Amino acid sequence: MYDFLIVGAGLTGTVLARELTDAGKKCLVIDRRDHIAGNCYTQNISGINVHKYGAHIFHTDDEQVWNYVGRFAKFNNYINSPIAIFHDEIYNLPFNMNTFAKMWNVATPAQAREIIEKQKAEAAIDGEPKNLEEQALSLVGKDIFEKLIKEYTEKQWGRDCKELPADIIKRLPVRYTYDNNYFNHRFQGIPEGGYTAMVEKMLDGIEVKTGVSFSQVDLSGFKHVIYTGPVDEYFDFRLGQLEWRSVRFETELLEGEPNWQGNAVVNYTSHDVPYTRIIEHKHFEFGKDSNGNELPDTVISREYSAAWKPGDEPYYPVNDEKNNAFYAEYAKLAESEEKVTFAGRLGTYKYYDMAPCIRAALDLAEKLLQKQEQK
């Protein structure tokens, strides 16, 4: 008899498996894909750790989480500094003095503020921003909204910026300093050798079966199930389908090309380019292999966003009001499943980054252990 069946070998499932195993519980981890590490899975191609399911940059203020991942991998000092291309114009992200200087030929924070304040006043937003468009206009004004946010966001989410929650754009810093660091967090980096190696270490000594889906498992052998797959799928879409965004990648190995775009992440913020961004993976590890040698080739991935349909991989929950209310109905069903706990981005319909995922998994492990003790 196992104590736990953990469905999904992504970060959430893996951290739970580690914590519960270390507390003496017997766990089996399954994943329907043929590999571990969920969406942070990396595959080595021509010496480059390719982020197969999109760029994953670790960033957090949570020192405990940072120390936790540090047990399983050495993190490099990569700092994410994407650039954005709008037609023939190139801008720095996130929105900072470099962006403002290029956009308006200003030099000081006061000059940038004056323009943004003027554009904000012209937008005449009444009270708290009610949607992503209003939020963006009040943070950075009309020019930046139109060149760097509007069309990118519409490609990414498949809907008008007025129909999206303000929260999505609150992820991005706005800074009146010349600082291109995309994140405000104290700790940031990429695990040397890739995420797959890190997750492998996390799962050391734990029974894992890949290529096995939940429906294939006889649940009688488990005291409890932790399910990190899509919550609506668990219930056979009984209430209908939650909306997800899916992503498709076109990945290319460019042999003999040492440096194709000069940056790990380049966003294409205009509608006429069908993809949202291009990732050049080698730059996450400074273009070098594990011995510090320059790599001769490169791998790039064009990222296309699409509405999710059955058979696709769900990536992003669409956390607008309608879907959140709908999820609340699924959450009620989930709560009534005594033997099952739902977790992770897919299991709880939350736009989690990696670090918050780990935080939530650590807290959940503690809660589950306390519960079992009480029994």
Task: Tell the smallest beta-carbon distance from residue 263 to ligand UDP (Å).
Answer: 13
Nearer to ligand UDP, 123 or 239 (CB): 123
Nearer to ligand UDP, 145 or 327 (CB): 145
Residues 118-177 that bind ligand UDP (CB under 6 A): 148-149, 152-153, 156, 168-169, 171-172
Residue type, position 50, single letter: V
Task: Tell the smallest beta-carbon distance from residue 55 to ligand UDP (Å).
Answer: 7
Name the residues annotated as catalytic.
171, 175, 245, 277, 303, 351, 353
Nearer to ligand UDP, 18 or 56 (CB): 56
Task: Tell the smallest beta-carbon distance from residue 347 to ligand UDP (Å).
Answer: 18
Nearer to ligand UDP, 93 or 225 (CB): 93
Cα distances from 158 to residues 161, 162, 243, 307, 319, in angstroms, run 9, 12, 11, 7, 13
Task: Write the binding mask 251 to 270 for ligand UDP: x where contact by CB under 6 A, - elsewhere.
Answer: ----------------x-x-
- DSSP sequence for 232-286: HHHTTTTT-PPPEEEEEEEEEEETT-S-SSSSSEEEE-STTSSSSEEEEGGGGGT
Is residue 189 helix, strand or coil? Answer: strand
Q: Give which of 40, 54, 85, 50 is closest to 262, Cα–Cα.
A: 85
Q: Would you call the peptide bond into 356 cis, given omega within 30 degrees of 0 as the criterion?
A: no
- How many residues line the site for ligand UDP (CB under 6 A)? 13
Nearer to ligand UDP, 136 or 203 (CB): 136
**Is residue 39 at the binding interface for ligand UDP, with CB under 6 A as the rule?**
no
Tell me the sheet residues that pair with 209.
Answer: 30
Q: Give which of 113, 76, 112 is closest to 195, Cα–Cα.
A: 76
Cα distances from 170 to residues 140, 244, 373, in angstroms, run 12, 20, 40
**Is residue 84 at the binding interface for ligand UDP, with CB under 6 A as the rule?**
yes
Contact 142, 122 (CB under 8 A): yes
Cα(242)–Cα(280) distance, integer angstroms: 32
Residues 87-116 that bind ligand UDP (CB under 6 A): 93
Task: Tell the smallest beta-carbon distance from residue 283 to ligand UDP (Å).
Answer: 16
316 membership: H or E segment, kind and range: strand 316-317
**138 Rama sector, left if φ>0, alpha if ψ -120 to 50, beta otherwise:** alpha
**Is residue 11 at the binding interface for ligand UDP, with CB under 6 A as the rule?**
no
Task: Tell the smallest beta-carbon distance from residue 58 to ligand UDP (Å).
Answer: 13
Task: Tell the smallest beta-carbon distance from residue 162 to ligand UDP (Å).
Answer: 13
Nearer to ligand UDP, 171 or 371 (CB): 171
| Contact residues: ligand UDP, CB under 6 A | 84, 93, 148-149, 152-153, 156, 168-169, 171-172, 267, 269
